[in-house]
Structure 1
Amino acid sequence: MTTPPDTTLWPDYSSPRSLAAIEEVPLAARNLPASTYAVLDRAAEQWPDRPAVTFLPRAEDWKAGRTRTYAQLRAEVHRIANLFRSHGLERGQAVGLISPNTALLPSALLAAQTTGIAAPVNPHLPAAHITELLQLARARILVAAGPELDPDVWRTALSVAAELRPAALYALRPTGAQGPGPALGALPGTVLGYLDAAMAELPDPRPATPPAASDLAAVFHTGGTTGAPKLAAHTQANEVVDAWSIAANSLLDEQSVLLAGLPLFHVNALVVTLLAPMLRGQHVVWTGPLGYREPALYGHIWTIVEHYRISAMSAVPTVYSVLAQLPVNADISSMRFAVVGASALPEAVRTAFTRNTGVELCEGYGLTEATCATARSFTGHDHRPGSVGQRLPYQQIKTALVDPRGEWQDLPAGAPGVLLVKGPTVFAGYVTGHGPEGLRLDGGTIRDGWLDTGDLARVDEDGFIHLLGRAKDLIIRGGHNIDPAVIEDALLQHPYITAASAVGRPDRHAGEVPIVYVTLAPDVPKELTGPDVLIAHARTVLHESAAVPKDVIVLDSLPVTAVGKPTKVPLRIRTLKQTVLDELAAAGLPADPSGVDCHLDGARVTVTVPRPASAADAEQITTALGRYTFGWAFTQL
């Protein structure tokens, strides 16, 4: 039975024109739950027998998913929270979560937020990196993929635990695992066990002291707005408000079913496909542990959509690029739209996906430092081409110029500049350490409540954001700003190119010229994908001659950050280093590549090269590299 709509909690949000009416009611009057636990508790009270989550063990076994109701999910969270408390977990301490998606992972994450702080990390990071992050997060307990689910991750978890000495390390099993799991061994000073077995022995009373809105809920590792690895701290209110903003979408109702395949160490998976559906009592079908990275999924995905009557899904542009080429072999008429985010959506991918499926893509924009989502787009006549969406309710946005002294100068609507965000979803700060009161936080790039996103954009009078690229990613050719996304979209229109990333190559005359790194579809003819052929293709598509790339380089894969987002940093470093090596070779001074070191700090680049033995050679290098705008120096002998 459908619950009558609560217009206080769920106002009409069907078009861009809804925003003004929504904000006539103060956020405090919306009666939002105070915490993520309160979101779950409310769902279990209102819809105890309704399916909450279904986890598929893997793509081939899509009929064998494990489903839990909202009441069952809450009981799991209660038991795990009590287990964590039995190990002395306190509000200011964290539970490190090191695992791909599996049936108990959402419950463990929610239990961590109920009793302390959740610290989900990419399980495939090096052990030393995970150790550093979880030490900074003050992790007292670890929950990790066990040896059946992912033996490599379990070995990583044991290595991390040996360094951190947590009170307990609990192993997660594959979805639907039967019988006892393999022996886990022993670790001095740390309790080792299976989470499902340990929680089964505990009762499930409500928490005596549920979290408050101002308590920290989670820390997520992110590249930060400057590119350096950091832990971004979210409050309970940050996550609830952002999830409510997404759940308020009038295109979906309580009966809608969502498909989820992003990893839960990513804020998109937590906010968009766990918390937001929970606010509406919606059912979420989670793919196997590899998510959208499981090749076999694409042979079954349309059948899964038909079987579970999927209404919407959330994924990244590369997923939709694949789905755009996949024949639709099932009834997918239940799909209302598909959500895309995490990186820029090339127009060529949007067009191809909708043409193939008849389903519109609803783009979103956000960043971890603003919890997850800051803007959403609309479908049908309300879609604004070229925009990533309209700002979400109660979030303020504007653009500003940053002068050489670092001061911000506000700009009028429509003027391009650095995008700033303010409101209830701006994070609590970056974790810098911990003390007696808990984690110590630094607001980073927040000033007077405004967060510097590091993105270049223009914002129209209706609050729609038009991204113009990352401030540090702009290619500046002879004083002319070139958006790399324009070049990438042109290359992606080539039938054999599956991904593209444009960067600036240092140039002695123009400062920078564009080049592009691409990946290709398998088994394509080499004579049709050479640099000259691909450059010629780009020239026919691009309207701006300055944007035509000087080179196209084919790679097996393009780099991503620890949370799976595309990153240009390794490509910029690679390009810069190759330019230096080419200059040294042209000057008759071949250099050992290992001796040339490149660093990036935002948009600034610096290079160091070994100082040659002779003064004449040093002068040659000074002359060769002095023609460029990047900073450089000799390393000390």
Structure 2
Amino acid sequence: MQPFATLADIERLERTPLAQAAPHRSPYALIRAAAQRFPGREAFTFLPDAALDTPPVRTTYAVLLGQMHRAANLFRALGVGPDDAVALLAPNTPEAHAVLWGAQLAGRVCPINYLLQPEHIAALLKAANARVLVALGPNSELAVWPVAEQVVRHHEVPLLQLCVGPGDGPQAVPVLQELLATQPDVLTFEPDLNPDRVVALFHTGGTTGAPKLAQHTQGNEAHTAWFAHAYYDVDEHAVEINGFPLFHVAGAFVYGLALLAVGARQVLPTLSGMRNAGFVQRYWRFCEREGVTHLACVPTVLASVMGVPVDANIASVRAAYTGGSPLPSELAQRFEAATGIPVRNILGMTECAGLVSIEPLRGPRTPGSAGLRLPYTEVHAVPWRDAEAKLEERCAAGETGVLVLRGPHVSPGYTDAARNAGLFEQGWIVSGDLGHLDDAGRIHITGRAKDVIIRGSHNIDPGLVEDAFLAHPDVALCAVVAEPDAYAGEVPVAFVTLKPGATLGADALLAAVAPQVYERPAVPKRVVLLEALPMTAIGKVFKPELRLRAIEIKLTECLREWAPGVAARVQALEQGGRQTAVITVAGPPDGALRERLQQGLAAMAVQTELRFE
């Protein structure tokens, strides 16, 4: 397959039947084909720690395929059938990949965020019909094991420990690697590779109610993985840093299976991934040592590594891909100027195996664009009227509507079909993203019809956070919205009105409610107490006004830090359907001050306008 640069390249490929353009319609078939072509090539380079002199653990494609077979055999022996799941609480390691792909051969896999509360994880295990739980064993870097021990108290299920060192876990709990060693490295059963078979359940936050389990078929996952490489312009010689967790579609598919599908290599940076500060400080030196060609990022990772001096030869690095949250154009420009590495943007959803569109490396980076749709898929902007997407209509080029998509990557829906309404409609996904397509077919996101908050690629349901506050006896009303954040892209902030006579302070209220919030990342960054919340004419909280106020509060706070003693005011506005912060600095233009402020503002996922008066 030739690399893509324009929509015409994609349309040219689409003249070939899908079965011919994508002959492997399951993750297993993709990995098996790569292992047959490149058995001795490295699939993974795992860094045990952030020290440059620590030898990495290198896993070849032949070894990966054998471990997948062993895992599939083991799970079948443990009673996992086609409708059963193996739950996975583990970071991105070679052994976890064997579980992820092997479980899909035996039945289904359900990777779960280990930052969730134990009782919440237990509820997901029950909803997934999990027959086995594989969890990272005790270690000094990532405390997953204590969570796993609490989970099985809430929902009894066989527990296996994925060890990171010899003899470091409880002897009473079976060790995954030891059990794998007892299994043959060839499959003992005939796998069902039907592209329509559901093989994975990924949990995702919704705008209302409890988090959902999105079903993935083999065909869904294979479709996104196989076609991604033509946008990334990678082949078997590519080397990528993948610091994303496997419970997120970015780690598993966008930056994971997409590289495995072509026989490329992934560098997995320690158990804590990009949260390992030591690794981030040596990021460029690891790039040089491993001959890295592609960087897997979100905007906050771009901002983090841009703050690290380039103290190595990084001529091998060809591109940085970023998704998960809006990419500020200023941040992309500054990263490219500082490193010489081109930045390209990605749009994805859990409900379509991670990918909607990608900016091709061989095409230009277009500010505000999320790139071109995947082959054999459709993406349109359609009118939004009467609280629904008008699927039979199409917006003109440049005209804003709600984005809808369909194709072989679209999930068959949630495990609870009652939750499909509003998102899965007539074969389409109604994304909830507001945007448009330009004349070149590029997709632009300008806002979200939904209220979901994206914190470092993690979807947070504000309704569940609001429920935790409303359960407090002093709280009358609560609305949770996104506040821009230089590290996480967005963080939740709670606007609260208290009941008459209540005198509780904002910090005390946050301290009281935080333990009741359904997951740690969803705990608000701050609580703002108001006399009244803004309301619509029919009595609903008007969240757009609160989002603007959250921007003003955050940027005012940042300005005091970036430019102490400088008089400035922030006004957040809605302009053309997009939030814009107008920052007015008192005094004549000051080049050095402008540069300092623009550098800080570049990492904020909000459009800004800087004025001197």
Give 2:136's match in structure 1, choosing from 135, 145, 170: 145
Say if 2:268 is the partner of 1:286.
yes
Q: Secondary structure at the match of 1:240?
A: helix
CA RMSD between the two structures: 3.6
Give 2:357's match in structure 1, choosing from 369, 375, 386: 375
Q: Secondary structure at the match of 1:453?
A: strand
Tell me the equivalent position of 1:595: none
Say if 2:111 is the partner of 1:76.
no
* Amino acid in the other structure paired with 2:563: L
Say if 2:543 is the partner of 1:515.
no
* Amino acid in the other structure paired with 2:272: L
Structure 2: distance between partners of 1:335 and 1:385:
21
Q: Secondary structure at the match of 2:403?
A: strand
Tell me the equivalent position of 2:146: 155
Give 1:223's match in structure 2, choosing from 205, 221, 227: 205
Tell me the equivalent position of 1:533: 568
Tell me the equivalent position of 2:401: 417
Residues 499 and 273 from structure 1, CA distance in 2 versus in 1: closer, same or farther, beyond 3 angstroms? closer
Q: Secondary structure at the match of 1:193?
A: coil
Give 1:249's match in structure 2, choosing from 209, 221, 231: 231
Structure 2: distance between partners of 1:160 and 1:335:
41
Q: Secondary structure at the match of 1:414?
A: coil
On the 8 A contact 1:473/1:503 being kept in 2, the answer is no
Q: Please list, as runs of the form range in 1=range in 2, the aligned pairs for 1:104-143 lying within 5 A after superposition.
A: 104-143=95-134
Give 2:426's match in structure 1, choosing from 438, 445, 448: 448
**Number of aligned positions between the proteins:** 511
Give 1:199's match in structure 2, choosing from 175, 180, 190: 180
Q: More displaced, 260-269 or 37-46?
A: 37-46
Give 1:567 shift.
12
* Amino acid in the other structure paired with 2:409: T
On the 8 A contact 1:254/1:282 being kept in 2, the answer is yes
User: Which has the larger Rg?
Assistant: 1
Tell me the equivalent position of 1:169: 159
On the 8 A contact 2:446/2:577 being kept in 1, the answer is no
Q: Secondary structure at the match of 1:398?
A: strand
Say if 2:191 is the partner of 1:210.
yes
Q: More displaced, 151-160 or 70-79?
A: 151-160
Superposed CA offset, 1:88-130 (max 9, x none): 1101110010122333111111111111111001112110010
Give 1:209 shift.
2.0
Residues 448 and 163 from structure 1, CA distance in 2 versus in 1: closer, same or farther, beyond 3 angstroms? same
Say if 2:454 is the partner of 1:472.
no
On the 8 A contact 1:56/1:62 being kept in 2, the answer is no
Q: Please list, as runs of the form range in 1=range in 2, the aligned pairs for 1:183-582 lying within 5 A after superposition.
A: 183-185=170-172, 192-211=173-192, 212-224=194-206, 228-249=210-231, 251-379=233-361, 382-404=364-386, 406=388, 408=390, 409-432=393-416, 442=420, 445-472=423-450, 506-507=533-534, 513=545, 514-517=548-551, 526=561, 528=563, 533=568, 535=570, 547-548=580-581
On the 8 A contact 1:317/1:340 being kept in 2, the answer is yes
Superposed CA offset, 1:597-629 (max 9, x none): xxxxxxxxxxxxxxxxxxxxxxxxxxxxxxxxx
Say if 2:85 is the partner of 1:94.
yes
* Amino acid in the other structure paired with 1:204: D
Residues 283 and 521 from structure 1, CA distance in 2 versus in 1: closer, same or farther, beyond 3 angstroms? farther
Q: More displaced, 515-524 or 268-277?
A: 515-524
* Amino acid in the other structure paired with 1:71: A
Superposed CA offset, 1:371-414 (max 9, x none): 11111113466332221111111110111223226361432333
Residues 114 and 328 from structure 1, CA distance in 2 versus in 1: closer, same or farther, beyond 3 angstroms? same
Give 1:527 shift.
8.2
* Amino acid in the other structure paired with 2:298: V
On the 8 A contact 2:380/2:395 being kept in 1, the answer is yes
Structure 1: distance between partners of 2:576 and 2:120:
44
* Amino acid in the other structure paired with 2:438: D
Flag structure 2 segments of 5+ consecutive residues without an equivalent: 453-480, 496-532, 585-603, 607-613
* Amino acid in the other structure paired with 1:238: N
Larger RCO (CA under 8 A, 6+ residues apart): 2
TM-score scaled by length of structure 1 = 0.73
Superposed CA offset, 1:583-606 (max 9, x none): xxxxxxxxxxxxxxxxxxxxxxxx
Give 1:298 shift.
1.6
Tell me the equivalent position of 1:182: 169
Residues 550 and 129 from structure 1, CA distance in 2 versus in 1: closer, same or farther, beyond 3 angstroms? farther
* Amino acid in the other structure paired with 1:260: N
* Amino acid in the other structure paired with 1:127: P
Residues 522 and 52 from structure 1, CA distance in 2 versus in 1: closer, same or farther, beyond 3 angstroms? farther
On the 8 A contact 2:556/2:570 being kept in 1, the answer is no
Structure 1: distance between partners of 2:17 and 2:381:
24
Superposed CA offset, 1:6-50 (max 9, x none): xxxx23424443112111112122242131111221122111111
Give 1:530 shift.
8.4
Give 2:30's match in structure 1, choosing from 39, 47, 62: 39
Residues 500 and 144 from structure 1, CA distance in 2 versus in 1: closer, same or farther, beyond 3 angstroms? closer
Structure 1: distance between partners of 2:152 and 2:84:
16
On the 8 A contact 2:42/2:61 being kept in 1, the answer is yes
On the 8 A contact 1:37/1:210 being kept in 2, the answer is no
Superposed CA offset, 1:506-547 (max 9, x none): 5479965422357799999748368963628x89xx999994
Give 1:548 shift.
4.2
Q: Secondary structure at the match of 1:39?
A: helix
Structure 2: distance between partners of 1:37 and 1:245:
16
Structure 1: distance between partners of 2:331 and 2:369:
15
Structure 2: distance between partners of 1:38 and 1:302:
34
* Amino acid in the other structure paired with 2:259: P
On the 8 A contact 1:371/1:425 being kept in 2, the answer is yes
Structure 2: distance between partners of 1:545 and 1:458:
13
On the 8 A contact 1:233/1:431 being kept in 2, the answer is yes
Q: Secondary structure at the match of 2:94?
A: coil
On the 8 A contact 2:141/2:271 being kept in 1, the answer is no
Q: Secondary structure at the match of 2:202?
A: strand
Q: Secondary structure at the match of 1:71?
A: helix
Structure 2: distance between partners of 1:509 and 1:441:
27
Residues 356 and 37 from structure 1, CA distance in 2 versus in 1: closer, same or farther, beyond 3 angstroms? same
Structure 1: distance between partners of 2:578 and 2:403:
28
Give 1:289 shift.
1.1
* Amino acid in the other structure paired with 1:173: C
On the 8 A contact 1:16/1:382 being kept in 2, the answer is no
Residues 53 and 405 from structure 1, CA distance in 2 versus in 1: closer, same or farther, beyond 3 angstroms? closer
Give 1:137 shift.
0.5
Q: Secondary structure at the match of 1:59?
A: coil
Structure 1: distance between partners of 2:439 and 2:560:
48
Flag structure 1 segments of 5+ consecutive residues without an equivalent: 1-9, 186-191, 434-439, 475-483, 552-565, 569-637
TM-score scaled by length of structure 2 = 0.76
Tell me the equivalent position of 1:480: none
Q: Secondary structure at the match of 1:249?
A: helix
Structure 2: distance between partners of 1:545 and 1:366:
20
On the 8 A contact 2:22/2:223 being kept in 1, the answer is no
